[in-house]
Structure 1
Amino acid sequence: MTVNFNARPLTKALIFRIQKQNMHYSNSKYWDFCAPVAGILLTLSFAPFDYSWLALAAMAFLFAAWRGCSAKRAALRGYLFGLGAFGSGVSWVYISMHDFGGAGALESSLLTAVFAAFWALFPALAGYLSVKMKGPGQVILTPVIWMLVEYLRGYWVLNGFPWLQLAYSQLETPLAGYIPVLGAYGAGFIAALTASIAVEICRGKKRLLLITALTILWGTGALLRNQTWTHEIGQPIRVSMIQGNIAQDQKWRPENKINTLLKYKRMTEEHWDSNVIIWPETAIPAYLDQVQDAFLAPLANDAKLHNTDLIISVPVQETAPVKNFNAVITLGKEQGMYRKTHLLPFGEYLPLQPLSGFVLDLINIRLGNFTPGTATQPLLKAGGYPFITLICYEDVFGDLSVRGLPDAAFLVNVTNDGWFGDSIEPHQHMQMARMRAIETGRFLLRSTNTGMTGIVSSKGEIVGQAPLFQETALTGTINPMGGMTPYARWGDRPVIGLMVVLLLGLLGYGKVNVGRISVTAV
């Protein structure tokens, strides 16, 4: 016969008994004290340290710390973890504000601390939700919640801040094979799932089954890493990236303007044998209309004579009404303009007005006031092929790198990491840029003011890189690429949608099975 009865009292009693047995273990201060240390270990998994396995160890510790404790305690541990990660991983914010933004040491320290404390709220949120929503399938549920919170942080809050996301630490591991298929969020989920499974294995739960699952996950990644999704569509293109190495505190001084222009002109003339020459972000310290006739027009004529295309970054000002754009123009055989669409908060515009403007005025920091370009701009062309333009930190957003595919044959990123001096930021930024090459199956040309200028292959490998803080030109060849990776076709939406379905399904399954138990007797 079949007997149905309400199992809520029994379930609550069992949960209370289990929690009582594990109370001392789960509420140990050990987890609290070690959480920020685990966050620092996460930072060490990224460039320039590149201890990729530490990302998995740090996440395994965090997921284990959330087991068996209250939601509030999990939030605390997540927050402490976030303080360790962001306090160490984005400490370069201090350099940008103190060394180049004009703020004092105290103000810069406080603002950097506030910056890290704000982003630490997201691991805290993930911890709170993981405990609050716990149920059957926790080994999958916790990574799902973690990645959905990461998506919230990476795309939506303050125009997105995807720094220190798991997938970027795994570019040299078998998990990189998932990137051209699932993108950064999908590969990050596999990494988080790996950490979650490791916790269950250490707890002695279904070890054989879970070890088999890990073997399949990583084995599949290794096989996918050998898969080629795109193909060459023409002859190699000879390219040169100019690294002017002009100090950030000298770049915009009026007395340096002429010397800066002459430097880039001289370095360009030394490489007329290249098909494409690229200057870094805002290489020209003046608005376009101020240098158009006297400087750029003759340079464009010289480029045509040498059968070379120039890709130059320059600020553009329009009138009626007045609008400023961070832009890239092409000169030579092909002429066009791209206006940056995804602006940097607190660098190119001020969110949270009027509060942010008031605070920055108090500490005497002056920032840019730019307008975003439209999302439907035509592709620029150079070397005979259209390419995707990414200005500054646009290269940390996967959705921007796939716009214009499959037409674009390569990617171009111009940036200026001189704002962050000799810190870990240029290394982190290059690591994130490499992700875009893997996702799209395209070569990436990256021209920077002070470094890291580089050529990245369609597999994400750095095939050429200029040294930091040196005036130099990096020359090499790339192959124009055609075709589409699965990620380029689908983007992030299917992966995020699947994780939402998993979340709702696991929560719904948990409610059904916890709320009512069916007992069958024969």
Structure 2
Amino acid sequence: MERLAGRAILLWGWKRALLAFMAGAIAVLGQAPYDFFAACFVAFPVLVWLLDGAVADAPAGFLRRLKPAFATGWWFGFGYFLAGLWWIGGALLVEAESFAWALPLAVVGIPLILAFFYGFAAAVARLLWSDGIGRIVALAFAFGLAEWLRTFLFTGFPWNPIGFAAMPVPLLMQSVAVVGVAGMNVLAVFVFSVPALLAERRNRKLGFSLAAVLVAAHAAYGYFRLAVPATPSERSINVRIVQPNIDLAEKWDGTVRDRIFASLLELSSAPPKAGAEKPDLIIWPETSVPFLFTERPDALVAIGETLAEGQMLLAGAVRLEGGASAGQAGIYYNSVVSINDKGEIVEAVDKVHLVPFGEYIPFADVMARVGLSQLVAGPMNFAAGTNRRPLALPGGLKSVAFICYEMIFPGLVSVDAASTQIMVNVTNDAWFGDTPGPYQHFRQSQVRAVENGLPVLRAANTGISGIVDPRGRVVDALAMNVRGIIDVSVPVAVSSAARGPVWQLGGFLILFLFAVAAGGLKLRQKLRAN
């Protein structure tokens, strides 16, 4: 092992960049749908050894000294994000004749940008670098900091955080309710990096002992939480999730809209499966309604005739404000509308966190001058909603709806889920086909359920639709690219404590402790050297 570490440390130039790139790509195997977390026990020790050798020629200024570490981290990040996000390009192939030119921008450009976060992490780690376990602590803190910054900088994109590799199954997801994803990122990088100590004798026993304690506590806490019976539910709600499996090539085709709408009504009105109750709540995916209700008021009449007395529909739809039809001036919103059994829209919530270049164009005037427009096929640009409020459900319950990738933002979901009993996620992952993307997106819903202690009802056009309980367990789900429904009785607690402050505080506490430890070990090494 010492010989292997030595060879990695001494690498330079393109060989160092290639090894860092390969290590990052290997680390992606720890994410859904592969869930091979053992790969991270290879990737992160290699990164540690590469950073051991990331030393600038002396003498050098402050930034020049950090350049080798930054470059190493950047190549690691480029490999990680390229291997983990290549499927994003599928959205541009839905209408390839219009958008295929932008494929390199999505497939390569996004990883190029995101890699700067890991380059930053490596540079910060190198600032706090010390011998033995100190450098493992420094790397864990630095990656935790970078992953936290990734949740909000440049609109945020916390997809595939490292901590998810330590949470492949519900048993190993429960710790996130205490330390959040921010804390899990720190602890996961620490544990994954400890095998680097096999190449030296210093702190080897201490490092592996700490890692063993963390892994044991992680698994034991998960076992305890899953073994303890849940608080008896005060009531339940019968839910039907509709997965229509609509081909995106047809979605906005005016000649087939009636057929698409009829398919949604057919699935919604189908008799309950054996043993299931008649649904109180029916959920359609994101933008599933193939036209504007302002253009087709008869669609609301048809929905009212389809719904039985007391039933309610939550439908993903495009909402127009300020115009009577698509041809008039108005503002479009990506929304979830609540429709009662009379065919009346009683409430609506709009998507607050839009996808840049997919649903809106940042700095639209400037982008238009250089010929850049919306990079995903769709009927219009959307405006962002100003706030999100709970939607009333049958039986006096409340839900909060998140549209598409809003579900990947821990802070956003935590704030809104604190005063509700159910979380709803509607999405249209058909843009990405049967790739790792939809599986990774579904994993986000599982983690959000555990963080907030609330069930998640998820409706996706082509999958994965499902019901996740407050412990992250999948109650029922539909496979990718199938047309069907799920009927489930979902138990809920009418009163639920807000969990957000718990895991947010826990995550920042972990970050703080690792920062102090890394700084203290660095200072001790300096004092010892003097």
Q: TM-score, normalised by structure 2?
A: 0.84
- Classify 1:57/1:459 alpha carbon distance in 2 versus 1 (closer, same or farther; 3 Å): farther
Once residues 456 and 96 of structure 2 are traced to their aligned partners in structure 1, the CA distance between those partners, rounded to angstroms, is: 30
Matched with 1:28 is 11
How many Å apart are 1:33 and its aligned residue?
2.6
CA contact (8 A) 1:441 1:481 kept: no
Q: Which letter does structure 2 place at the counterpart of 1:179?
A: V
Match of 2:483 in 1: 471
Amino acid aligned to 2:93: H
Separation in 1, partners of 2:200, 2:382: 53
Counterpart in 2 of 1:10?
none
1:163 to 159, 162, 166: 159
User: Structure 1 residues 364 and 280 mapped into 2: Cα distance closer, same or farther (>3 Å)?
Assistant: closer
Q: CA deviation at 1:101?
A: 6.0
Pick aligned residue for 2:84 from 82, 85, 89 = 89
Does residue 146 (structure 1) correspond to residue 135 (structure 2)? The answer is no
For residues 112 and 490 of structure 2, the distance between their equivalents in structure 1, rounded to whole angstroms, comes to 42
Summarize the Cα distance change of 1:32–1:302 in structure 2 as closer, same or farther, 3 Å threshold. Answer: closer
Aligned equivalent of 1:268: 268
Give the letter for the 1:126 counterpart. Answer: A
1:51-103 Cα distance to aligned partner (Å, 9 max, x none): 12223432232223212422322222222222221112111122111234644
User: Residues of 2 paired with 1:342 and 1:57: CA distance?
Assistant: 36
Match of 1:246 in 2: 246
One-letter amino acid of the structure 2 residue matched with residue 52 of structure 1: F
3-state SS of 1:139 partner: helix
Alignment partners' CA distance in 1, 2:519 and 2:146: 17
Question: Within 5 Å, which residues of 2 pair with 1:190-201?
Answer: 190-201=187-198
Aligned-pair distance for 1:167? 2.1
SS of the residue corresponding to residue 75 of structure 1 reads helix
Q: Percent identity?
A: 23
Which residue does 1:329 correspond to in 2? 337
Match of 2:387 among 360, 375, 382: 375
72-81 or 414-423: which moved more? 72-81
Alignment of 1:395-410 (within 5 A): 395-410=407-422
Partner of 1:206: 203
Instruction: Say whether 1:294 aligns with 2:294.
Output: no
Indicate which of 482, 495, 508 corresponds to 2:507: 495
Q: In the aligned structure 2, how far is the partner of 1:266 from the partner of 1:363? A: 33
Q: Does the CA-based 8 Å contact 1:248-1:418 persist in structure 2?
A: yes
CA distance in 2, matches of 1:84, 1:259: 43
Say whether the 8 Å CA contact 2:99–2:376 is kept in structure 1: no
- 2:112 is aligned, of 112, 117, 129, to 117
Equivalent of 2:285 in 276, 280, 297: 280
Question: What's the secondary structure of 2:348's corresponding residue?
Answer: strand
- Inter-partner Cα distance in structure 1 for 2:304 and 2:415: 28
Per the TM alignment, residue 435 of structure 1 is displaced from its structure 2 partner at its CA by: 0.8
Per the TM alignment, residue 154 of structure 1 is displaced from its structure 2 partner at its CA by: 2.4
Q: 1:356 to 1:43 in 2, by over 3 A?
A: farther
Contact 2:417/2:423 (<8 A) preserved: no
Deviates more, 1:450-459 or 1:377-386: 377-386
Mapped contact 2:426–2:459 kept (Cα < 8 A): yes
Unmatched segments (≥5 aa) in structure 1: 1-21
Q: Give the corresponding residue for 2:43.
A: 58
- Whole-angstrom distance in 1 between the partners of 2:206 and 2:497: 32
Shift, 1:485, TM fit: 7.0
**Letter of the 1:335 counterpart:** V
CA contact (8 A) 2:242 2:284 kept: yes
Is the 2:422–2:454 contact (alpha carbons within 8 Å) kept by the matching residues of 1? yes
What is the aligned partner in structure 2 of residue 14 from structure 1? none
- Alignment of 1:130 with 2:115, yes or no, is no
- Looking at structure 1, the residues matched to 124 and 166 of structure 2 have their Cα atoms a distance apart, in angstroms, of 26
Q: Which runs of 5+ in 2 are unaligned?
A: 56-65, 273-277, 324-328
